[in-house]
Chain A
Amino acid sequence: MQQAELQAQRIRAAMWFLLPMIAALAFVAAYPLLRSIYFSFTDTTLTSLYTGQWVGFDNYLNWRTLPSGRTIYRGTLVDPAWWNAVWNTVRFAFVSVSIEAILGLMVALVLNANFHGRGLVRAAILIPWAIPTIVSAKMWAWMLNDQFGIVNDMLFNIGLISEKIAWTANVDTAMWAVLMVDIWKTTPFMALLCLAGLQMIPRDVYEASKIDGVHPIKVFFKITLPLVKPALMVAIIFRMLDALRIFDLVYVLTPNSAATKTMSVISRENLIEFDKFAYGSAQSTLLFLMIALFVTLYIWLGKVDLSGDKQ
């Protein structure tokens, strides 16, 4: 009886500690999210934010049959610009996160080794991650500039290219430019999370493998990788969430390029620039649903342990 009372008391205390957090989250996350979702079912515009009428799923998909018998479909779900953005985003997310995961793990393995000045290198490697995205995007925009950029200059001087390339403006290279900058920027983050995972691995397992005479490559795949996998999976999920809603880098580095426009970029464009507030809200809602679906699938299929209960 006393035990139950103590338990109840603990739960009450926990609730009081959680309350400010829950209130803040409700205010800055739940409310805007629900309001966006609500907007997506109305005909709200920027000039009539509070007077939008309920239109059901029209922003997602609606159709009209013309007197000629032809049916016209409209809405985000049949908008080629939207699907282009979806494709761009998905492609960007998978390529960037895959490369970042591999590079990050490699960097982490190096940083996990014992060498002189390791602390300094660990700090130095974080610099790209520490620079605000807007700044690094601008910096790279200049470096990749077709006329004054140092990248073109160097490639041209050593003879790798015969004419200067407009990396960010060219449809063929724009996505690669964005990918490259993103990988440059976020590999350190991946590396740091992987490094944390690597440092959890007890050293004597490696000593045991030395006595067993296990080849280093086999050690990596049989021992290191399975042990660092939980940390890596969590790192990947963080990066994937970031990558799926990427906005700032694309917006600054390659403005208005159809080759790189992502879901976030296109929904902002509709929300603000094209004054299709409700339409943009519908796209935001779809983006939210896609990320939610992806994360659920990932956690479920990957058996990712976010609770930290298992060891």
Chain B
Amino acid sequence: MNGLKITNVSKTFGKTNVLKDINVEIADGKFLILVGPSGCGKSTLLNIIAGLETATTGRIEIAGEDVISRDPKDRNIAMVFQSYALYPTMTVRGNIAFGLNIRKVPKAEQQQIVDRVAKMLRIEDLLDRKPAQLSGGQRQRVAMGRALARDPAIFLFDEPLSNLDAKLRVDMRTEIKELHQRMKTTVVYVTHDQVEAMTLGDYIAVMKDGIIQQFGTPSEIYNHPNNMFVAGFMGSPSMNFIPCQLTEVGGEVGVYLQGHTTRFFVRLSQTGKDYSRWLGKNLMFGIRPEHITDYAEQVGAQEAIPCKVDILEPTGPDTLLFITLNKVKVVCRVTPETALQHSIDKMPLYFNTAKAVLFDPASGLAI
């Protein structure tokens, strides 16, 4: 069964196209992430799914039923808002039970549901407090409790963690994932945080300018980005884009990279790709920081290239190195030990070109 099916949804405000022909389909129980920079239309899309905004054209199906003409309350959804949207004058219990109350669930059953949800979220001892007496993380839990109490066909999350501090955000992220694994309800989750997107989603839709740039599993999105925007948006630090020219040397296709002092050839090791029509063209060589590294095994046979490091940033688990290639700044990721062992003038780095992606700089599309 379909968890959610979005067909040809467009939205225009006056002359601006906020959403352009969106098509997404996920199976029941899957976790869909809508991710993108602010203004990309992800929240509008979520609101259209919720029924808080109307689509200019298109259809929305939730759990196999067309809901486009239904009110939010009749769509069998529950939503968690960015600023929690708790009813300030009601207690936590009142907040969780309010929706049930409106739908005339018997009192005893309401009590049961509130208790179950409160236990699940560990907010039993907060039930008689008002939202103003709760911390941000507690409010977040209550907001989720209110959604859980509905037992909907689909959960909608609108940047639920963006108002929490960094540590709490990581904790809550894990908890949301845990809850989803337990509940197995379809989730649509809007975020601008690519780490949340990667960690939580079964599927990710990366959006920009009202268009889904790429839809796929986290690993597809991360390892095989469609275009430079997706490649640059997902991952932190983001992918390096090095302008280069595709060259053939001794029957091997690759690119020349010019450091401060050295110029070297990196062979492309993608299998089964025909680059012949791009030979001699100016391209963007996209490579993630973790693929310019000290770890020889994952890279295969290519030898280390000694590079001069401009800046060294220890982050704890690993150290980021900034080098210059073809006149652009390039980030590499090595273990702290390597960074200490070698001189920063001659840091041996391996290029894992199997994971590199070439882009056509004119269209931004991956080759």
Contact = CB atoms under 8 A, between A and B. Distances in A.
Q: Chain A: interface residue count, which band?
A: 10 to 19
A308 interface: no
Interface in B70-95: 71-74, 77-79, 81-83, 85-90
Given A202-B83, A204-B83, A207-B81, A213 B89 contact: no
B78 A211 contact: yes
A214 interface: yes
Given A207-B52, A207-B79, A212 B102 contact: yes
Contacts of B89: 222-223, 226-227
A205 interface: yes
B259 interface: no
A208 B73 contact: no
Contacts of B52: 207, 210-211
A162 interface: no
A311 interface: yes
Contact of B81 (A208, A213, A214, A218): A208
A204 B72 contact: no
Contacts of B82: 204
Q: In the complex, which range does the number of interface residues on chain B fall in? A: 20 to 34
Contacts, number: 62
Given A207-B52, A212-B102, A311-B132, A223 B87 contact: yes
B81 A212 contact: no
Contact of A204 (B77, B81, B90, B98): B81
Interface string A164-175: 000000000000
Interface in B129-144: 132
Q: Which applies to chain A's interface (DSSP): helix, strand, loop or mixed?
A: helix
Nearest to A208: B85
B87 A213 contact: no
Given A227-B88, A227-B89, A211 B83 contact: no
Nearest to A310: B132
Interface string A213-257: 111001000110011000000000000000000000000000000
Contacts of A212: 73, 98-99, 102
B229 to A, nearest CB: 29
Nearest to A210: B72
B164 to A, nearest CB: 16
Contacts of B81: 204, 207-208
Interface string B115-156: 000000000000000001000000000000010000000000
B159 to A, nearest CB: 11
Contacts of B51: 210-211
B132 A208 contact: no
A211 B132 contact: no
A215 B52 CA distance: 15
B50 interface: yes
Contacts of B87: 205, 208-209, 222-223
B88 A213 contact: no
A76 B335 CA distance: 92
B150 to A, nearest CB: 8
Contacts of A211: 50-52, 72-73, 77-79, 99
A16 to B, nearest CB: 36
A204 B103 contact: no
A220 to B, nearest CB: 13
B79 A208 contact: yes
Contacts of A202: 83, 85
A264 B72 CA distance: 56
A226 B47 CA distance: 26
Contacts of A311: 132
Contacts of B146: 208
A210 B85 contact: no
Interface in A97-130: none
Contacts of A210: 51-52, 71-73
Interface in A156-201: none
Contacts of A209: 87
Nearest to A204: B85
Interface of A: 202, 204-205, 207-215, 218, 222-223, 226-227, 311
Lowest 9 CB-CB distances: which A-B pairs, in order? A213-B73, A204-B85, A226-B89, A212-B99, A208-B85, A204-B81, A211-B72, A210-B72, A205-B85
Given A204-B85, A213-B73, 5 more contacts: A208-B79, A210-B71, A211-B72, A213-B72, A214-B102
28 contacts: A202-B85, A204-B82, A204-B83, A204-B85, A205-B86, A205-B87, A205-B88, A207-B47, A207-B50, A207-B52, A207-B79, A207-B81, A208-B85, A210-B71, A210-B73, A211-B52, A211-B99, A212-B73, A212-B98, A212-B99, A212-B102, A213-B74, A213-B99, A213-B102, A222-B90, A223-B89, A226-B89, A311-B132
